């Protein structure tokens, strides 16, 4: 057998270069690059290996380990999990900074390869700089923090272990069910050790994303349940996008007259103005979608995790039979659902064939179309500017109008903005709407915008971010400038955590520790953004925002637009109940009313698995 002598780090890099993926009729590199912040734990091993192959596998310099990992995750999301990136750091804080990002990827089922440096396997200089010592287990390092938030974890303690570890890592990263973060901890001494690797190990490998067909018996049972229904409703989740099932979804809805609603991850699966798109469902849902959900006799969840926001904490549609079409058996079995384990596109196509000419009740279809039209009018009214201090809804309305003048992506993650976006953003396709709301990670926004821009450089990327998230993580503004990856960032400044302040009051509490006093010295966000290399401006009205967005469109450098917003204004229309625990022994009238309403709402919750 022919062999080639390489260090472990060189072998790892060479292996990654040889991986590609089939997307339609095209073959593209599976890895778009490696985000790297070097330190003593990875610079002499992986750092040297990456430098030698920089033309074939780009290495990108970031400013914060968590941020670069979030950008890598956004890159994968914007590529519908068909392409991905790797991230490498030194040992210690560089590694643990990525653990939050690993949780984001794990919850959202998004692929990213983590390559943190690790302590010496030989233990000759033990303990080393940044080493976390466990008094009862000498095998533990800081990288063990990755275990609960990785789909696959391994520590490479001998160079030949790559022969097993890397194929397993790629299996998980490209599998539609197991997809998520993979962590290969790389001890710094082992990175530099050599081994005679088989040349066959580095042969080019092209991956196809698996699309499982439904089981015959499950399909028959699912089709019978649909055929017996009169008021079915589809809940489209992220699995529709990752299966590239948008056309199958539209064809199924149109042929059978079934209205469609969308989760945060699924929004954009159907164009906003499609007659059968009732919009967002759940806690942050539209009045149209939630009214239909409360009256449906069957909910077909396609590629959805069925989180509490989508189901109104299991209280939105307890009267309906639930059918779960999902590629993962874990999700398909949730909430006592009738399972149909299959790829979303294959499953919808198979159901279509099985149902033949069956249609939902014509009055149900007509009602859904009427409600959808009414909500579009409501959206226009809510997002229209007025003379008062701008609301989040009015700001996103202006950005939405600007985005519709070009192919765009909107990126957001945490706080009150995702709720407004879910209800009000008019997504035209599945790529346009990019929200991280599985983990609702503050700080994702700007880093995620960078990842989305790297994945889709032909699109204009709009980042909507509150002042709280901006202060939590803004370093990748500098990275976007250095990479020439232009973003248009709109900072909505409500002087604190407005979303949680509203929740605080809704649960019977007083505003506390969320909003800053009016006279508190505050941040000049525009000046700060300029210091990071962006072009920035502070504006005072929606009219000024519209003009600033037009000017930003003509620029090639990252733009930051700052606007003050009202922390207490949010969209009242639509929405469903959310189970947030309240005081069970209230001492005042306000909290007694809150408990009364809470107890009443809990009685509607669907019990079961």
3-state secondary structure of 293: helix
Question: Could you report the per-residue pLDDT of 220-272, keeping only the tens digit for each?
Answer: 999 999 999 999 999 999 999 999 999 999 999 999 999 999 999 999 999 99
The pair phi, psi for residue 436, each rounded to 5°, is -100, 100
3-207 belongs to CATH 3.40.50.970: yes
Residue pair 64/93 in contact (Cβ under 8 Å)? The answer is: no
Q: How confident is the model at residue 609 (pLDDT cuts 50, 70, 90)?
A: low
Ramachandran bin of 12, using left for φ above 0, alpha for ψ from -120 to 50, beta for the remaining angles: alpha
Question: Could you report the per-residue pLDDT of 549-558, keeping only the tens digit for each?
Answer: 999 999 999 9
CA distance 76 to 93: 24
- 216-375 to CATH, choices 3.40.50.300, 3.40.50.1220, 3.20.20.70, 3.30.420.40: 3.40.50.1220
The contacts of residue 246 (CB under 8 Å, 6+ apart) are 240, 269, 270, 429, 430
CA distance 324 to 302: 6
Beta strands in 427-478 (DSSP E): 433-435, 460-466
What is the pTM for the complete model shown?
0.96
All structural domains of the chain with their residue ranges = 3-207, 216-375, 385-564, 579-609
Q: How confident is the model at residue 505 (pLDDT cuts 50, 70, 90)?
A: confident
Residue pair 294/233 in contact (Cβ under 8 Å)? The answer is: no
The contacts of residue 73 (CB under 8 Å, 6+ apart) are 101, 104, 105, 108, 110, 112, 436, 448, 451
- Shortest CA distance to 493 belongs to which of 529, 457, 459, 458? 529
Of 138-142, 224-228, 486-490, 592-596, give the lowest mean pLDDT range.
Answer: 592-596
Q: Do 3-207 and 385-564 fold alike per CATH?
A: yes
Q: What is the CA radius of gyration of the chain?
A: 25
Question: Could you report the per-residue pLDDT of 365-422, keeping only the tens digit for each?
Answer: 999 999 999 999 999 999 998 877 899 999 999 999 999 998 999 999 999 999 999 9
Residue pair 260/289 in contact (Cβ under 8 Å)? The answer is: no
DSSP 445-456: HHHHHHHHHHH-
Question: Could you report the per-residue pLDDT of 29-82, keeping only the tens digit for each?
Answer: 999 999 999 999 999 999 999 999 999 999 999 999 999 999 999 999 999 999
Per the omega criterion (within 30 degrees of 0), is the bond before 127 cis? yes
CA distance 227 to 7: 60
CA distance 417 to 392: 7
Topology of domain 385-564, CATH: Rossmann fold (3.40.50)
Integer CA distances (angstroms), 275 to 255, 272, 302, 378, in order? 13, 8, 19, 16
């Amino acid at each position: 057998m022919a062999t080639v002598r390489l260090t472990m780090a060189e072998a790892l890099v060479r292996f990654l270069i040889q991986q590609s993926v089939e997307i339609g009729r095209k073959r593209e590199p599976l890895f778009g690059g490696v985000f790297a912040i070097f330190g003593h734990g990875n610079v002499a091993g992986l750092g040297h290996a990456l430098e030698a192959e920089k033309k074939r596998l780009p290495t990108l310099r970031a400013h914060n380990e968590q941020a670069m990992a979030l950008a890598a995750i956004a890159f994968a999301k914007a590529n519908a999990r068909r392409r991905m990136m790797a991230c490498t750091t030194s040992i210690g804080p560089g590694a643990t900074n990525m653990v939050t990002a690993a949780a984001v990827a794990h919850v959202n089922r998004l692929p990213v390869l983590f390559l943190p440096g690790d302590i010496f396997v030989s233990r000759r200089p033990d303990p080393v700089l940044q080493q976390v010592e466990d008094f009862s287990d000498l095998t533990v390092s800081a990288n063990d923090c990755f275990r609960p938030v990785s789909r696959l974890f391994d520590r490479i303690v001998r160079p030949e272990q790559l022969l097993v570890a890397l194929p397993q890592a790629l299996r998980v990263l490209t599998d539609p069910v197991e997809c998520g973060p993979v962590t290969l901890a790389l001890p710094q001494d082992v990175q530099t050790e050599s081994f005679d690797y088989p040349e066959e190990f580095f042969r080019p490998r092209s991956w196809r994303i698996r699309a499982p067909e439904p089981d015959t018996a499950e399909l028959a049972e699912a089709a019978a349940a649909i055929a017996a229904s009169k008021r079915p409703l589809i809940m489209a989740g992220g699995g529709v996008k990752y299966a590239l099932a948008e056309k199958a979804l539209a064809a199924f809805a149109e042929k059978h007259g079934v209205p469609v609603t969308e989760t945060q991850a699924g929004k954009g699966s159907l164009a906003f103005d499609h007659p059968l798109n009732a919009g967002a469902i759940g806690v942050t849902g539209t009045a149209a979608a939630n009214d239909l959900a409360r009256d449906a006799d069957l909910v077909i969840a396609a590629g959805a995790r069925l989180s509490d926001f989508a189901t109104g904490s299991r209280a939105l549609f307890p009267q309906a039979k639930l059918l779960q079409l999902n590629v993962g058996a874990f999700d398909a079995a949730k909430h006592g659902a009738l399972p149909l384990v299959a790829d979303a596109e294959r499953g919808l196509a198979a159901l279509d064939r099985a149902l033949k000419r069956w249609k939902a009740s014509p009055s149900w279809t007509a009602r859904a179309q009427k409600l959808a039209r009414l909500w579009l009018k409501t959206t226009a009214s809510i997002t229209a500017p007025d003379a008062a201090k701008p609301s989040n809804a009015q700001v996103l309305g202006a950005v939405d109008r600007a985005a519709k003048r070009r192919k765009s992506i909107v990126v957001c993650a945490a706080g009150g903005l995702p709720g407004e976006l879910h209800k009000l953003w008019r997504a035209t396709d599945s790529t346009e709407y990019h929200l991280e709301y599985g983990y609702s990670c503050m700080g994702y926004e700007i880093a995620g915008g960078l990842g989305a821009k790297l994945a889709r450089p032909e699109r204009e990327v709009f980042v909507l971010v509150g002042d709280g998230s901006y202060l939590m993580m803004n370093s990748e503004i500098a990275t976007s400038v250095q990479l020439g990856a232009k973003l248009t960032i709109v900072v909505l400044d409500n002087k604190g955590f407005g979303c949680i302040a509203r929740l605080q009051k809704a649960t019977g509490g007083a505003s506390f520790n969320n909003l800053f006093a009016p006279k508190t010295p505050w941040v000049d966000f525009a000046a700060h953004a300029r210091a990071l290399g962006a072009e920035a401006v502070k504006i005072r009205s929606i009219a000024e925002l519209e003009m600033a967005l037009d000017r930003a469109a003509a620029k090639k450098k990252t733009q930051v637009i700052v606007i003050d917003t009202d922390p207490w204004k949010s969209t009242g229309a639509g929405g469903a109940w959310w189970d947030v625990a309240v005081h069970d022994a209230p001492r005042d009238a306000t909290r007694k009313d809150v408990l009364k309403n809470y107890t009443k709402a809990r009685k509607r919750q669907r019990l079961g698995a």
